[in-house]
Amino acid sequence: MSNKTEFKPYIAAEKITPEITVTSIIMGVILAVVFGAANAYLGLRVGMTVSASIPAAVIAMGVIRILLRRNSILESNIVQTIGSAGESLAAGAIFTLPALFLWAAEGKMGNPSLIEITLIALIGGLLGVFFMIPLRGALIVKEHGTLPYPEGTACAEVMLAGEKGGSSASTVFAGLGFAALFKFIIDGLKVVSGEISVRVKGFAGEIGTQIYPAVMSVGYICGARISSYMFAGGVLSWLVIIPLIVLFGADITLYPGTTSINELYASGGASAVWSTYIRYIGAGALAAGGIISLVKSLPLIVKTFSGAMKNIKNAGDTGNERTARDINLKIVLIAILALTILIWLIPAIPVSLLGAFIIVVFGFFFATVSSRMVGLVGGSNNPVSGMAIATLLIATLILKTTGADGITGMSSAIAIGSIICIVSAIAGDTSQDLKTGYILGATPRKQQIGEIIGVVAAALAIGGTLYLLDSAWGFGSDELGAPQATLMKLIVEGVMGGDLPWTLVFIGVFIAVTVEIIGIPVLPFAIGVYLPVQLNACIMVGGLIRLALNKLKRGDKEAIINDGILFCSGMIAGEGLVGILLALLAVVGADKVFDLSAKLGIPAVVSDIGGIVLFAVIILTVLKFTVWKKRDKVQ
């Protein structure tokens, strides 16, 4: 039954208000670049990204209403539409493209060019938008009462609470400012420790915490449940597996290590054992987790795709009203065809005609699946990593059997996987944004143009961001673990016949299987196994703060929780931006100018105590803008 005649958007179809304006485009592009860079930094550090739609919306509302003295909710909606595209494109890119840098570091190939990265990101993003456009009528309009699209609906609710726009925007900006200051104190001035660890004599395990505001904010946004799964994975790897390796390994040299276990531990402690062995176990768990999530979703995927195909014939039959106008379907089909040919013909993209065909077929399938699944279960539960793993496995096998092996075939497989991963991420984001617009009464065509603008802006920025971060610290380092990209690299190498420590990988696989049997969500647990326990512990602190606020017995509890999400979203953006700035300073050699640790000769103990104090201050700032924030009393 159609909801077209029943549903009335906030802005009626016959009413014309500003949407795509110079202001909305400029603000949206800035936020797309800012949140894209911040999420790229965050995702490479902790293996997770966060949605930028709501913080982008409240920033837009704050600026447009308070500073520009205008009151157009649809103009603010275009800002968040453009801005959120940057975060989604960054998420798709960082899960795969750093694998090319990792091979370059091993001497197997040169670094990918900026043109290659930009074109891969741009084509993947544009295909994600274009694949979604024919599905809007089927998924957003005809199933409005069936598919909730949690993030899109939440973003609409935030924007409809217009009278709170200024206050909400100030909360985001406060989080941005505080996190920028904290990050600069920790990693710029280096007057306090960014990580504190505790070891027990005679026991090879290690526990501790990082004190970064963005990492803690991830825990708050994800909540205590997901945070605890990640922390449990870290406990298993750092307090169980590492001590077992050291205990039983002793004087044995195990591949891929080049020295005995005792020598390895003596030289670098638990961190050395983690980087040499645990990463492969974590990668195996991540791969298994992605495949398990995909297999579990298969019935829903098949139902989703078949249902969408049945409805797509009438997808454009949503009326001629302003709120029913999409980009012309002929233009969409021509654009998809042109992009497919460009993938094949452009020398900078290492993909053949067969690879271009794989991208279009898998891209449209996964875009359809992603668009509907985010409508059902939200973006955080969308099995994008499982889709990327499946694509890489199939693409690598096809390339190998057709003679495209070696580093040429592997780089081609990563390019294919990158485009499809970005397609899935952008299709899901476009769906959420179009849901927000449907509720508010936006013009779909203008939103779709906004998505394209956001994709172009983010694609132009992502290459420079990846190059900058790689030059400053290197992917796969302690600063930027790049877990998903490392996993994709291992999968491609494994299929192509690379020399991998398969025993370690399969240990991770069966850990994931065991966790799934117990009933624990595999992916967050597997990420916890892969990442340093100190990082997982910091995320856990944020989850515990969220848990404590959830236990409050106050009438304004919902407002407190939402303020915390906005403040933490701001902190993620603030730390990400300063992280990019510090990377730039490191590349040009200017970081030593601000480094006070050596100049002042601060003892390690004092630095650790300072870190603990600063961590307490970070927690207090979250409380200041949640529990202790002045707000109108709930009647």
Res 633 pLDDT > 60:
no
Q: Are 37 and 465 in contact (CB under 8 A)?
A: yes
pLDDT digit string, tens, across residues 220-261 = 988 999 899 999 999 999 999 999 999 998 889 988 888 999
Q: State the Cα–Cα distance between residues 203 and 197, nearest whole angstrom.
A: 14
CA distances from 388 to 12, 318, 418, 423, 485 (A): 40, 33, 8, 10, 11
Instruction: Please provide residue 22's backbone torsions phi and psi, each rounded to the nearest 5 degrees.
Output: -60, -40
Residue 72, both tokens:
């157009």
Q: How confident is the model at residue 162 (pLDDT cuts 50, 70, 90)?
A: low
Q: How confident is the model at residue 311 (pLDDT cuts 50, 70, 90)?
A: low
pLDDT digit string, tens, across residues 500-515 = 788 998 999 999 999 9
pLDDT digit string, tens, across residues 591-605 = 888 888 878 888 989
pLDDT, mean of residues 418-424: 92
Q: Residue 300: helix, strand or coil by DSSP?
A: helix
Q: State the Cα–Cα distance between residues 118 and 124, nearest whole angstrom.
A: 10
* Average pLDDT over the chain, rounded to an integer: 87
Q: Given this model, what pLDDT does residue 4 score?
A: 44
Res 362 pLDDT > 90:
no
- Residue corresponding to tokens 């060019």: 113
Q: State the Cα–Cα distance between residues 29 and 83, nearest whole angstrom.
A: 6
More confident residue, 481 or 422: 422
pLDDT digit string, tens, across residues 270-301 = 999 998 999 889 888 888 887 887 787 677 66
Q: State the Cα–Cα distance between residues 54 and 77, nearest whole angstrom.
A: 10
Q: How confident is the model at residue 114 (pLDDT cuts 50, 70, 90)?
A: very high
Amino acid identity, residue 220? Y
How many CB atoms sit inside 10 A of residue 578's CB?
A: 24
pLDDT digit string, tens, across residues 8-20 = 888 998 888 889 9
More confident residue, 483 or 444: 444
Q: Are 387 and 366 in contact (CB under 8 A)?
A: yes
Amino acid identity, residue 332? V
Q: State the Cα–Cα distance between residues 172 and 41, nearest whole angstrom.
A: 19
Q: Given this model, what pLDDT does residue 471 score?
A: 92
Helix segments in 49-113, DSSP class H = 53-62, 73-94, 98-105
What is the pTM assigned to this prediction?
A: 0.83
Q: Given this model, what pLDDT does residue 635 score?
A: 39
Q: Given this model, what pLDDT does residue 319 score?
A: 56
Q: State the Cα–Cα distance between residues 281 and 268, nearest whole angstrom.
A: 19
Res 165 pLDDT > 90:
no
**Torsion-angle region of 491 (φ positive above 0: left; ψ -120 to 50: alpha; else: beta):** alpha
**109 Cβ contact partners less than 8 Å away, ≥ 6 residues apart:** 100, 103, 407, 411
Res 99 pLDDT > 90:
yes
